[in-house]
Amino acid sequence: MHVEFLEIPAVALIQPKRFGDDRGYFVETFSARLFCERVAGAVFVQDNEAFSAQVGTLRGLHFQKPPMAQGKLVRAVKGAIFDVAIDIRVGSPTFGKHVSARLDAEHGAQLWVPPGFAHGYCTLEPDTLVSYKVTNFYSPADDGGILWNDPALGIDWPYGASGAVLSAKDTQLPLLADLAPLFTSDPAREAQR
């Protein structure tokens, strides 16, 4: 497993090793031991899947509020996505900034999005299936989000405003500036990464 911490060091792009031959390949998609040693000491409690038929389906930007905050380990099982994590930890040197990665079934990379980040993605291929592990159970009462096209975030979505397929809920989310401070950061601890 290859791990690359991105420009926001709490977020990691993980590439599991594939072993291939003329039949196809084998891959260990998750190992709790390796994840804890190389990425974070997270414990996953639930697996989720989301299927999107249309190219340009945008889901996000979502998070769960404390005490039900979730970390997510995201991968595309079929198709491809443009995946985004936004730092919403007050006091973080990267507050309001984002990182992105292309995740696709062909290469099998995964994105670790820790608690304190909003997360969203846009499908790049039809019939895309996304699977993700989470560190806390879903709690509708603690559901939160940020408007996907908030100009303050500067996210260059692949299909822009005209081509995005959104849920009604995701079009009504607040701007980052209107979000109450929910998460805090310890810059000294982050500098150790």
Q: Band the pLDDT of 161: cuts 50, 70, 90.
A: low
| β-strands 183-184, 89-90 pairing | parallel
Instruction: Give pLDDT, residue 25.
Output: 86
Q: With 70 as the cut, is the pLDDT of residue 67 above it?
A: yes
The pLDDT value recorded for residue 193 is 44
For range 73-80, the mean pLDDT: 98
Catalytic residue list contains 62: yes
Determine the pLDDT at residue 187: 56
E strand spans, the chain: 2-5, 12-15, 18-21, 24-27, 46-52, 58-64, 72-78, 80-87, 89-90, 98-104, 110-113, 117-123, 128-134, 143-145, 183-184
Residue type, 192: Q
State the catalytic residue, choosing from 2, 98, 132, 138: 132
pLDDT of residue 28: 87
In the predicted model, is pLDDT for residue 167 greater than 70? yes
Answer yes or no: is pLDDT of 192 > 50.
Answer: no
Residue 113 has pLDDT above 70, yes or no: yes
Average pLDDT, whole number, for the chain?
Answer: 93
**Topology given in CATH for the domain delimited by 43-185:** Jelly Rolls (2.60.120)
Of 2, 62, 121, 138, catalytic: 62
* Percent of the chain predicted with pLDDT > 90: 84
Q: How many CB atoms lie within 10 A of CB 94?
A: 19
Q: End-to-end distance of the chain based on CA atoms, in angstroms?
A: 18
Lowest mean pLDDT among 3-7, 99-103, 122-126, 181-185: 181-185
Q: What is the CA 138 to chain-centroid distance, rounded?
A: 15
Residue 28 vs residue 59, higher pLDDT: 59
Kindly state the average pLDDT of the residues 108-125. Answer: 97
